[in-house]
Amino acid sequence: MNYQTLRVRYQNKVGYIQFYRPDANNTINSILVEELTYVLRKCEEAMTVVVLEGLPEVFCLGADFHDMHHDGNKTAHDPEPLYNLWLQLTQGSYITISHVRGRANAGGVGFVAASDIVLADHTAQFSLSELLFGLYPACVLPFLIRRIGFQKAHYLTLMTQPILAQQAHEWGLVDAYDEKSESLLRKHLLRLQRLPKTGINRYKAYMSQLYRNIHDSKHRAIAANKEMFSDQQILKWITRYVEEGKFPWDV
């Protein structure tokens, strides 16, 4: 298939999926969600490991404000497909690895938090910028809290500033990092692709039932997200940022 937002290749039992929207800083639009959902379903059949990657300077910067701005019906924003995509990463019968280089922000952190393993290089940085626009990462937080705990996720949300790879590793958001992250990824894959797919499937199904917060929080997270994106003041701030590059506090 020809994808508009992804580059996909398969090697042995590993599926490599690269976010590829270089002109849009790898932001998330509905096409990316649809295409990635389709690819992950294909990976259920034969892949043991799925690797998510971005560009050298940016992994994924979250929602595409430009796309939302040019959508005639801005209040029709539906976060459920993206939330379901992150659930798919946590539940799929494959091991999911986020290989992060450069910036991961907002929904990009959602992909990271939903992955089984996170590897990074020394350029990686992670941030939640939503509160700058009067939003908060309602759909990201259930996955992020599951991974790093309430207070660290709370701090990251309030500060809106990026943390670097070393701090992300100390917090548990990153499992391993190295200046040569490609080599780090290869070492992990040598081990992980040997695991039997049936064992991975059973283990992840067990873990999914053991920790149900991401399931139980789905309705509340989606409702909160829809409420925020129906706030006309927030939409005006987003429009101003897209058109003029100004934050809400800029005169």
CA 240, CA 251: separation in Å to the nearest integer?
11
CB 66 within 8 A of CB 31: no
Catalytically annotated residue among 35, 53, 64, 121:
64
Check if 23 is active-site: no
Catalytically annotated residue among 35, 53, 116, 130:
130
Dihedral pair phi/psi, residue 87, rounded to 5° = -60, -40
Pairing of the two strands 14-19 and 58-60: unpaired
Check if 243 is active-site: no
Q: What is the dihedral of CA 29, 32, 37, 41, to 10 degrees?
A: 180
Instruction: Supply the residues annotated as catalytic.
Output: 64, 130
